[in-house]
Structure 1
């Protein structure tokens, strides 16, 4: 209470700085206001800021881990894709070789069949020629016999 009495006492007018009871009262008010602001406002805000920084730090760490995992998965998928392309390429080459082999076999078989058919046709023609020749020879023999019989009869 003495401080209040001193604060209410008359203030001498004059000098550049008047040092009276208001200076300690203002100092107490500043300390009290600082304490109240710190306990009511700055500490909760500081806690929220620290929590937020912690959340951001963990989120960044998780994001880095996920990015590394994605990079590993991407590398694995690239390797699998390379392997699949090579497998597809080898399958295409094998299929082309198989088609070429089947084509050659079919061509050889067709040529063999054509040769067999040509040989069979040649044999049939030869046998028909021989048969026709034999028939002609028999007809020639008959005609010559008839000619000789007519000549002898005449």
Structure 2
């Protein structure tokens, strides 16, 4: 569903019980920092609001969204990390660079998740404009960071219930 039809910060609490001891790594791209820091704040607050302690949340920076996959792999290799949330923003430009980066990041994050059998969450915005990014990073469409944290919690809850 398009985010202009749904607020990204609205979610149900299904599959989210008994996760207080889980540990999260949040990897944040420094590129488009105004957007990515807002995404981080949304994810961090959502985890806290759902019973995760500050001590169980790590924050790590990478230069850009392309580097999220490798950093996610480094985090996933650590046994004590239960889920990794990757946050970035790639804004459409005048060249095909956007397409290559978005494709590489999406595939990279998916591959890490499957390789390590852990939730590695794709919290990367791919808007056409800066304003669209801001609208999805705490603006009129909610915060994709909230959505990424909820996704991590729900996936851990699903795994716990299997």
Give the TM-score range, shorter chain. Answer: under 0.3
- When Rg is computed on C-alpha atoms for both structures, the one with the higher figure is 1
Larger proportion of strand: 2
With the length of structure 2 as denominator, give the TM-score of the two structures.
Answer: 0.15
Larger proportion of helix: 1
With the length of structure 1 as denominator, give the TM-score of the two structures.
Answer: 0.16
